[in-house]
Amino acid sequence: MGLEGKVAVVTGGARGIGAAVARGLAERGARVVIADLDGAEEAARTLRDAGFEAAGLRVDVSSEADTAAMAAAAEDAFGGLDILVNNAGIYSSLTPKPFAEIDPAEWRRVMEVNTLGIFLCCRAALAPMTRRGGGRIVTISSGVAFKGNPFMAHYVASKGAVVSLTRALATELGPRGILVNSVAPGFTLSDGVLGNPTLVAGVKEPSLRNRVLARDMLPEDLVGAVCFFAGPDSAFITGQTLVVDGGAYYH
């Protein structure tokens, strides 16, 4: 299955894209630690009930202490850390608005979670991955980083930073055997997005109209790309961003 014996951490893994990715990694043989603010243990229990090895942990990715505990928990539970999927982020709770109307506190919080959070998670994973002789880091960015979508300036800026951080980390961590790549989704009907009718009303129709594959994008559509970067078939690929959006943007 490709990932037998590997240990993976998925941030924001309790629902939506993260939950789909966690299950996909488990189905390919990985033991999975689900890290999330809410519902992590319940999501892990669902995987265990399906016959997989999984653990859940409450983690705020913008907390240095929480991310350090997350890496330690992977080692304690399963003996190491090989794969980190940086999925946690703020998007579905945002209301589109002109950049001049974005509250600075909201801007800071988006940056704390979407950029500082990835930095802290990667830093926490560095020592455990080095002890294993290498590893894989997959960051979830977004197609908006390339398209410059309006009315979400803080989110767009944060995801542009994720793409750049992916490249910088790939260069720095390559000599340690740690590969760093990114997957950039299009507008995805995750649980959180479906819970924000204003966001769905403003973004869904334009997204469908601009896709070559004119259907809704679901969390499951991202699983293959993430698992590819986490697995053996991408052993000579690092610093790359793969756009998965049904053909809305050719990168």
Active site positions, annotated: 155
* CB of 229 closer than 8 Å to CB of 27: no
> Which residue type does 235 have?
A
Classify residue 151 as exposed, middle or buried by CB count within 10 Å of its CB (0-12, 13-18, 19+): middle
User: For 11, which DSSP code?
Assistant: E
Q: Alpha carbon of 28 to those of 7, 118, 156: distances in Å?
A: 11, 24, 32
What is the Cα–Cα distance from 107 to 111, expressed in whole angstroms?
A: 6
Classify residue 167 as exposed, middle or buried by CB count within 10 Å of its CB (0-12, 13-18, 19+): middle
